[in-house]
Amino acid sequence: MPRPIINEDLCKGCGYCTLVCPKHILKIDKERLNALGYHPVKVTNPEECIGCRYCEVVCPEFAIYIEK
Ligand code: SF4
Ligand code: SF4
């Protein structure tokens, strides 16, 4: 099963990955701040990931990748 892995401290909270995810399982976590002072993205329903890698491709910070 594919699984999105987030390197939270690289995330700049731009939200690009949340816009391209066809399953809508990536959300900006407004409750938290990472080491850079941004709201990092979180995965709401990892079991729904279809492994399309759109999130990985679109992320300018290389903060997210898909583990197969
Ligand atoms: S691989 Fe596709 S379905 Fe999975 S989190 Fe990334 S964009 Fe969403
Ligand atoms: S695209 Fe990358 S930097 Fe932007 S919110 Fe998603 S994981 Fe964070």
Alpha carbons 68 and 65: distance in angstroms, whole number: 10
Report which of 60, 55, 27 is spatially closest to residue 41, judged by C-alpha positions.
Answer: 27
Q: How far is CA 50 from CA 21, 22, 54, 66, in A?
A: 10, 9, 10, 10
Q: Output the tens digit of pLDDT for each of the chain's 68 residues.
A: 999 999 999 999 999 999 999 999 999 999 999 999 999 999 999 999 999 999 999 999 999 999 99
- Residue owning the nearest CA to atom 4 of ligand 1: 49
What is this structure's pTM?
Answer: 0.96
Domains of the chain: 3-67 (3.30.70.20)
- Residue owning the nearest CA to atom 8 of ligand 2: 11
Q: How many CB atoms lie within 10 A of CB 52?
A: 14
